[in-house]
Chain A
Amino acid sequence: MLLEVRNIAVHYRKTAAVKDVSISVADGTIVTLIGNNGAGKTTTLRAITGWKHPSSGEITFDGQRIEKRLPEQINKLGIAHVPEGRRVFAQMTVMENMEMGAYLRRDTAGVRKDMEMVFHHFPILEERQRQLAGTLSGGQQQMVAMGRALMSNPRLIVMDEPSLGLSPIMCQEIARIIRQIHEQGKTIILVEQNARLALSLADRAYVLDTGSVLLEGPSEDLKSNEAVKQAYLGG
């Protein structure tokens, strides 16, 4: 397993946002976490990338324990985070956003190659590279956030609600790009409200409810599960 999350709990002050979550992510797969608001999806992702440290439990990435490390150390190990709400550096150009994604890298040639790869995925970003990221449309900002994550040349990318607030056409576009990125060998953890989209992309899925894992299994199985259909796929 590339990533193992074992029985983590995460607290905001005294409230547990995550009570007991365990997740296994095999190298080269897409794993999705689905569930309602407040189920603990975002918090689980934040625990993985060091944004919020778990109060108990273990997280192992590529054989190393990471649950107590700082975000900047985890980035260096090869995990990138596409945050909820995109969170691009609005007052910086598209190009500068990409540079920040590659902040820790010293391999200039590799960075240039990844820049080309990002522009291949998102041709519009190449056109807009000198524009301030804050002036772009929501979908384009999502591309900036994804491009920025790719620029660190990560092995694992966690994506938090990449389709949130986007038009159906843009959602399809983002889904297509997630597939492309996956085909290039990146492992992905995808958090989505849009369960239908998430299950169509993922190999394996976890259903979270009020901070715990309710169900887990191959996406195909969950898609036909009656309870999942009822609760998350609109019957």
Chain B
Amino acid sequence: MDFSTFTQTLANAIVSGSIYSTVAVGLALGFGVMKMANFAHGEFFMLGAYVVFLLYGEADLPFPVAVLAAFPIVALIGVIVERLIFRPTRGNVLAGFMATAGLAFMLQVLVGQIWGVGLPKSVPTPYMGAAQIGGAFIGWQRLLVVPAAAAMVFALWFFLYRVKAGKALRACAQDPEVAALQGISISRVTMLAMFIAGGYAGVAGALMAPIQPVTPYMGHDVIVTAFIIVIVGGMESIGGSVLAAFILGTIHTFVTTLVDGVTATMAGVALMALILIVKPEGLLGRTRA
């Protein structure tokens, strides 16, 4: 691997780490507050990409408007499915699994029925050209993902650690019963967590829409990687998810470049297995008292 290939791959790794961070923090948040693994989280990513396809690709709205619109639209979908589908299964792990996995298939089929399953939707690239960094060319479109993801992760951190409602969300994730005794409404916190999780996955998908093929099934790869990240990072840990996203993004991108994509996925799963053996609570996870 020569130097320019290395920098090119490193840049791709940073881009993929960034996008995985925004997807995984939402998944970790949902897991923390609802103790539920949301298998439909990848479909929120897919829906975000479709928002850009429709608003930017079809309706010709400016790209930033379409990306920003993905937040409230997918967030709202998150809140609705939580209320209608997830909440009745609360406290039942198996029912929760069925509900979220079932929802994932429903959303795939629904989107396929409306907009077709054949050729991927092509979304024109809003920002052409590339930046030249250390001998590598990185498309502006890809580069844009990095500050956007950084801003989103920072905003989430600020919310969770500096805003009262965000602190209540953390309290709820740590001990919902005692949080309720402090006057915190579990239902409202759950709604808030789903709003953020949906919105973040939606924006991540929206940012990736011009970069990767938009299909009803694009959430599938995302969810597998996101779960590995969340497990490696320590289930409910936001910081752990971000760290693991970059580790996994780096491994995945480099192995893909040096070997191939299938080996890269295997390397990711192997890493997860290794972490689970050495540190079962994850990189930044905590053991429960």
Contacts and interface: CB of A to CB of B under 8 A. Distances in A.
Interface of A: 49-51, 70-72, 75-76, 80-81, 83, 87, 89-92, 96, 99-101, 103-104, 134, 148, 152
A65 B216 CA distance: 52
A92 B174 CA distance: 9
Interface in B177-192: 177-185
B184 A91 contact: no
Given A87-B175, A101-B182, A152-B182, 18 more contacts: A51-B177, A51-B180, A71-B183, A76-B183, A80-B181, A89-B170, A89-B171, A91-B170, A91-B174, A92-B167, A92-B170, A96-B167, A100-B167, A103-B164, A103-B168, A134-B289, A148-B182, A152-B183
Contacts of A91: 170, 174, 286
Contacts of B183: 71-72, 75-76, 103-104, 152
A192 B110 CA distance: 58
A134 B171 CA distance: 13
Nearest to A75: B183
Contacts of A96: 167, 171
Nearest to B186: A72
B163 to A, nearest CB: 11
Contacts of B182: 72, 75, 100-101, 103-104, 148, 152
Interface of B: 164, 167-168, 170-171, 174-175, 177-185, 286, 289
Contacts, number: 64
Contacts of B180: 50-51, 70-72
5 closest Cβ contacts across the A-B interface? A104-B183, A75-B183, A71-B180, A72-B183, A87-B178
A49 B179 CA distance: 12
Contacts of A49: 181
A7 B170 CA distance: 37
Contacts of B181: 49, 51, 71, 75, 80-81, 83
Contacts of B185: 70, 72
Given A87-B175, A87-B178, A89-B174, A99 B167 contact: yes
A28 B70 CA distance: 55
Contacts of A50: 180
A81 B174 CA distance: 17
